[in-house]
Amino acid sequence: MGGLRPDIVWLGKIPFHLDEIDQVLGEAKIFIGIGTSGHVYPSAGFVERARSNGAWCIEINKDQTALSTRFDDQRLGPASVEMPNLITELLS
């Protein structure tokens, strides 16, 4: 397919624009971690960076993770269900 690559982070790869990600995490008011095991860095460290500036941290996952205790709020279930519910709550 012509060398196209989705803009996602594959296991063992470093995200594009990591400096910008760090800056935004430091300014975030809300951080939502979706579908992560909590074991793969640097993304597993994103919740700590967001928390360090007082962001409200929400985890959406099917099961508890290694990082679950670091989040202020946790939604257990499929993201396809939990994310729309969360958006409705945030907008109300």
Q: What is the pLDDT of residue 58?
A: 97
The answer to the question of residue 12 being in a domain is no
Cα within 13 Å of Cα(4), Cβ side: 3
The answer to the question of residue 57 being in a domain is yes
Q: How many domains does the chain have?
A: 1
Tell me the pLDDT tens digit for each residue of 11-45: 777 888 899 999 999 999 999 999 888 888 888 89
The answer to the question of residue 84 being in a domain is yes
The answer to the question of residue 11 being in a domain is no
73 - beta bridge partners?
Answer: 58
The answer to the question of residue 56 being in a domain is yes
The answer to the question of residue 55 being in a domain is yes
Please report, for the domain that includes residue 44, its CATH number.
3.40.50.1220
The answer to the question of residue 2 being in a domain is no
How far apart are the C-alpha atoms of 33 and 75, rounded to whole Å? Answer: 10
How far apart are the C-alpha atoms of 38 and 53, rounded to whole Å? Answer: 20
The answer to the question of residue 24 being in a domain is yes
Q: Which DSSP state fits 36?
A: -
Are 5 and 31 within 8 A, CB to CB?
no
